[in-house]
Structure 1
Amino acid sequence: MIWVAWRQQRAALLGLAAYAACVGAFLLVWRYTATSRLADAGLRDCLRGVVERCAAEPAYWETMNWFSSADSNARMAAVGFAALAGAFLGAPLFAREWEQRTHLLALGQSVGRGRWFGSRVLVALGATSAVALLLGLLNWGSAAWQGDTVWAWERLHPNHFESQPVALTGYALFAVALGATAGLLLRRTLPAMAVAFAGTVAALHAVRSYLREHYAAPVVSPDSWQRTHTWLSGDPGRWALDHGVLSTSGEYLRNPVDVMAIAYGDCELRPGEWGDPAFAACMDEHGIARPASLVHPGDRFWPFQFVEFGLFALVAAALLGVSLVVLRTRAL
């Protein structure tokens, strides 16, 4: 049954593998070009980490901005692999069988419904998750091998987080399971493909926008009044959720309007420029100790990856359970 399932799904599987190979090749060429450009600009030390000197060099930011659109497209293409897998592999997995009535031949033999279902799902999920994991590892590893260039230190941030290996594998499992379930319920390929693609995109957007930041309690990160890039050498991978201030009593305030009124209406005009010692002393007199941010530290990247994988894998398992129940109870 495994061989039969592979023969029936090989066109979609090979097509998805070719898509992933193209994305991976683009990632490698793009990363290599970015690091070469930085090295030619005399910023070789920036290949191993974003430090204060890098942030002060216009050539560094010119390189980053030049490659930012390509980076965004590559990450979107990597995440798009999951949605495409759900539409072109998961949805036709069973819907096409009903449309072509070939399920009657398969289930009319000695093969039981559970075995038929399991073999097809196993091939689809196994191959898709393996390719998604390799694509995610390539996206993560290309930055790790060549240094933290081209925004690689933002891996925890939305739009970067989704293309990383563990989470991307979870998305692929969910998308294929969603497509298979839609195919068994609708028994029409095109509607099932639409449900799988739109459902995957909607689920990713909902989790990124409303759920991920609650995987752990954020922490308060004190900043400085000085206009520098010191945060880059401290914890560049942190994910800032909100910017505010710390009161002299240690309470975090979510950037109230009156704080800015104090800064521009009194402290910045009377003692001197923003960041001067006199400015900091004036703000302290008004009960404001320093600016601060509400953040998830960069070391939460891998824990968040596994939490998100577990979430999508659990939903995928539930969807496959529903699919199996539908297959066993509905008439052929």
Structure 2
Amino acid sequence: MKGSLWLAWRQQRVSAGIGALVLVLAVVIAAYSRSGMQDALHSGLFDHCAPGPLHCSRSATGMPLTLDIEPLQYLGALNIVLPVIIGVFWGAPLLGRDRELGTHRLVLAQGASRGQWFASRFALAAATTIALSGLLAGVFAWWWQPAADRSYGLFWYETTALSGSGPRVVAAALFGLAAGTLLGLLARRVLAAMGLTLLATGAMSLLLLWMHWARLLVPPHTYVSAGIAPKPLMGEKWSTGTYGLITGSGRHDDVMNCAFPSGAQLKECMTAHGYVARFYKANPAGDYWTFQWTDTAILGGLAVVLTVATVLLLRRRL
């Protein structure tokens, strides 16, 4: 390692060391907590619990019976805010600090081109970001496995699982790095770049979370049962909260038009209004990967666009 790459390592080794420390801490906590989960599951305490959204209760008290998933949710939350942290504290100073201090001129005067100066810094930061985010996502998946989609655990559609796991964590981290790097190049001060990066990455994270809940990117499926036949079980599906009734012409009406769970009253009401079936809308468990790859494509695509924009602006801004 020499030249501009050696200098890039010198400047980024503290950030890389902090990331490694966070990863080691996450692995230790995950190993300890997952071992506790396994012991609880092997004790037989949860043997009577069925999978599904309904809480499992203690036979003696009737109180909900759950595994200790709070530390797991903290890791999911960390993975969600990882692009903000990386963008603000790594991406924004990556080029911005040298530009603010003017030290990039010294580097360029030593014979390194603008492209080499940028490539050495960004490549090292991107490789470290991929490794850190990928390993954190892997730790989450391993830790989550005993409690995945169980009444006593964590369902796939809960925010910390859906947005804090899988390949979208890596794409989001790269987006944060790319956004911070571009804003560090454009802003006159590193502190201003950090503030702008916080706004940009935070807004993007919140926008995707809202899109998940609104089902804008992955539309829900419609599950229909004829007449008053029992509706398909919700199970591991992510309900939209939309339930209703279907007329013979195919019109969908609100469920409150016949607010009876079952039996003769429901049948009479449906007959009187001309309803022939009931329905609800939900995303099946298989949509977890659809959400994942959709987010990954969006965030990864934005990371590429922002990186290309940074390369194109290097000559103008330096």
| TM-based fold match above 0.5 | yes
CA spacing shift, 1:245–1:191, aligned 2, 3 Å: same
CA spacing shift, 1:281–1:13, aligned 2, 3 Å: same
CA spacing shift, 1:226–1:72, aligned 2, 3 Å: farther
Q: Secondary structure at the match of 1:160?
A: helix
Q: Secondary structure at the match of 1:298?
A: coil
User: For residues 208-232 of structure 1, what are the alpha-carbon distances to aligned partners after superposition, in whole Å with 9 as ceiling and x for unaligned?
Assistant: 2137823344310237979999422
Q: Secondary structure at the match of 2:45?
A: coil
Q: State the match for 2:18 in structure 1.
A: 15
Counterpart CA distance in 2 for 1:205 and 1:95 is 26
Q: Does 1:215 align with 2:217?
A: yes
Counterpart CA distance in 1 for 2:223 and 2:81 is 34
Q: Secondary structure at the match of 2:286?
A: helix
Q: State the match for 2:115 in structure 1.
A: 114
Counterpart CA distance in 1 for 2:185 and 2:25 is 31
Counterpart CA distance in 2 for 1:249 and 1:194 is 57
Counterpart CA distance in 2 for 1:229 and 1:159 is 27
The total of aligned residue pairs comes to 310
CA spacing shift, 1:315–1:123, aligned 2, 3 Å: same
CA shift at 1:305, angstroms?
A: 1.1
Q: State the match for 2:288 in structure 1.
A: 301
Q: Secondary structure at the match of 1:43?
A: coil
Q: Which has the higher helix share?
A: 1
Unmatched segments (≥5 aa) in structure 1 = 269-273
User: For residues 3-23 of structure 1, what are the alpha-carbon distances to aligned partners after superposition, in whole Å with 9 as ceiling and x for unaligned?
Assistant: 331221010111122223333
Q: Does 1:26 align with 2:63?
A: no
CA shift at 1:61, angstroms?
A: 7.0
CA spacing shift, 1:76–1:119, aligned 2, 3 Å: same
Counterpart CA distance in 1 for 2:166 and 2:22 is 16
Q: State the match for 2:65 in structure 1.
A: 63
CA shift at 1:308, angstroms?
A: 1.1
Q: In the alignment, is the contact (CA less than 8 A) between 1:223 and 1:293 conserved in 2?
A: no
TM-score normalised by structure 2 residue count: 0.83
Q: In the alignment, is the contact (CA less than 8 A) between 2:52 and 2:150 conserved in 1?
A: no
Q: Percent identity over the alignment? A: 23
Q: Secondary structure at the match of 2:307?
A: helix
Q: State the match for 2:311 in structure 1.
A: 324
Q: In the alignment, is the contact (CA less than 8 A) between 1:221 and 1:293 conserved in 2?
A: yes
Q: Does 1:315 align with 2:302?
A: yes
Counterpart CA distance in 2 for 1:229 and 1:21 is 44
Q: Secondary structure at the match of 1:246?
A: strand
Q: Secondary structure at the match of 1:118?
A: helix
TM-score normalised by structure 1 residue count: 0.80
Q: State the match for 1:241 in structure 2.
A: 240
Q: Does 1:231 align with 2:253?
A: no
Unmatched segments (≥5 aa) in structure 2 = none
Q: Secondary structure at the match of 1:154?
A: coil
Q: In the alignment, is the contact (CA less than 8 A) between 2:92 and 2:180 conserved in 1?
A: yes
Q: Does 1:128 align with 2:114?
A: no
CA shift at 1:249, angstroms?
A: 2.8
1:1-332 superposed matches below 5 A? 1-40=4-43, 42-44=45-47, 50=51, 55=55, 57-58=57-58, 62-64=64-66, 67=68, 69-144=70-145, 148-149=149-150, 154-210=155-211, 213-222=215-224, 230-232=233-235, 236=236, 238-249=237-248, 251=250, 253=252, 256=254, 259-260=255-256, 262-263=258-259, 268=260, 274-275=261-262, 277-285=263-271, 286-289=273-276, 291-330=278-317, 332=318
Q: In the alignment, is the contact (CA less than 8 A) between 1:89 and 1:176 conserved in 2?
A: yes
- Aligned alpha-carbon RMSD (Å): 3.2
Q: In the alignment, is the contact (CA less than 8 A) between 2:92 and 2:181 conserved in 1?
A: yes
Q: In the alignment, is the contact (CA less than 8 A) between 1:215 and 1:307 conserved in 2?
A: yes
Counterpart CA distance in 2 for 1:61 and 1:201 is 37
